Structure 1
Amino acid sequence: MDGAAARIRRELEGLADPAYREFQARLVPTVDPARIIGVRTPALRSLAKRLARERPDDARAFLDALPHETYDEMNLHGELIGRVAKTPQEAFGLLDAFLPHVDNWATCDLVRVPALGRDLPATLERIRGWVAAEPEYAVRFGIVQLTALFLGNAFDPSQLDLVAGISRPEYYVNMARAWYFSFALVRQPAATLPLFERRPPALDAWTHNKALQKARESRRVTPEQRAYLQSLKV
């Protein structure tokens, strides 16, 4: 570990909260608890903000230090990508280096990269690559970004087919698919409902039913809509 990365590791260790460490260990069962320092999210984000603004050379050195040993360093890395990347192309490069090393849903889902919204066609093309990739959390990241960026004005029905066509056995991939479809049912019902009305179902039964369950839990769904979604369960 080089000087900057070692200094940042010590800073994270200085922010450790033992109680939060135990809480995090329960949330991310795929991570060895020994790899969790226990830094609370506001403190992690504050450190990322300081590094990006006041110590950009240290931030860049840390981003070059993959793979990181601890869960918290990985989370800090994800936070830094969003703060350092100024263009979609820069973000793509940083993410392509990072995602193969991600080993849990929480690190995957905390990454927010504003630069991705500056060229949505290019981002959609990169999402197509991520969801077809081998690493589990690259696939999940692609689905999460499709949910965050493409269920509003940038929505196209072909995106539903993109997620429906993902065939993976991993729980955290399929949970992301279910969340995507649950949001699509609420935000883009005209395009999405036919997918759930189709018989035989277009999706595997677990994802189909989990998406309906999550959509029914939305506050934006009326009692009548909730009853209809329940009727579509397989």
Structure 2
Amino acid sequence: MGNKDKAKVNEFVLERLYEMQDMGYRDFHSKLVPTVDRERIIGVRSPNIKKFAKEFSKMDICEEFIADLPHKYLEEYSLHINILNKEKNIEKLIEETEKVLPYIDNWAICDSFSPKVFKKYPELIYEKILKWLESDDTYTVRFGIVTLMNNYLDENFDKKHLDLISNIKTDEYYINMAIAWYYSYAIIKQYEETIGLIESKSLGKFVQNKSIQKAVESRRVDDDTKEYLKKFKIK
């Protein structure tokens, strides 16, 4: 794709995104993603981007947009990952996932990136998760944790996953928050397998306490269990 073609595609995408701009939402959203420069946020609500992604994915120029990395704006990445979320060809999806992951620099895009087809290939995706968890990049690691949480806490759950995540030692806030999020869901979905880890207090203080906090805040945890969990907070 030539530079002129890239410019035309980019111009089309940005024109559409700016048509949906909501300045109030921009101000609100920019506070939620402090790792992103405010000037890189247009201010487009997620439902509007999803609607645009559905339309745009059917256009010939969509492939050109996906190939043109890096993007400038957060909403361009949002459009990008919403297109990939609908991709059904697993080989193409993995290839494009590997290309875009190094450019993801915030939790909002990272956590929205959840392709439905991943569930159909648990063994293949698990091997990828193991690789992502070893990355030096904060959001690639977070993506691995969130992907494990989204796809491996039901029929594909294995108790070794709990230890896999507990072996991640880092001071990175956005990784530790993802770990806590994972364990809170593990408490909800795999309580009998997970409670021993919580009782052992072997997790770091932040992860231990945040995991319990998130589980206690859930409506899916009964009151008795909430009170029991609180006993294992680390002071």
Deviations along 1:126-148, one digit per CA (max 9) or x if unpaired, are 11111111111111111111111
The equivalent of 1:72 in structure 2 is 75
Deviations along 1:176-211, one digit per CA (max 9) or x if unpaired, are 00010011011101111111111xx32111101110
Alignment of 1:196-215 (within 5 A): 196-198=198-200, 201-215=201-215
- Extract unaligned runs of 5+ from structure 2: none
Which whole-Å CA distance do the structure 2 matches of 1:212 and 1:86 have between them? 36
The equivalent of 2:10 in structure 1 is 5
Alignment of 1:72-221 (within 5 A): 72-83=75-86, 85-198=87-200, 201-221=201-221
- Once the two structures are TM-superposed, the CA of residue 233 in structure 1 deviates from its matched residue by 1.1
Give me the TM-score of the superposition, normalised by structure 1: 0.94
User: Which amino acid in the other structure matches residue 153 of structure 1?
Assistant: E
Checking the alignment, whether the CA contact within 8 Å between 1:91 and 1:116 is kept in structure 2 is: no
Out of 18, 21, 46, which is 1:16 matched to? 21
Checking the alignment, whether the CA contact within 8 Å between 1:35 and 1:71 is kept in structure 2 is: yes
Q: Does 1:231 align with 2:231?
A: yes
- Extract unaligned runs of 5+ from structure 1: none
Which whole-Å CA distance do the structure 2 matches of 1:141 and 1:96 have between them? 11
Deviations along 1:68-114, one digit per CA (max 9) or x if unpaired, are 0111111111111112x223222211111111101110011111201
Q: Percent identity?
A: 37
3-state SS in 1 of match to 2:57: helix
Out of 59, 63, 66, which is 2:62 matched to? 59
Count of paired positions: 229
Which whole-Å CA distance do the structure 1 matches of 2:158 and 2:34 have between them? 35
The runs of at least 4 aligned residues of structure 1 exceeding 6 Å deviation read none
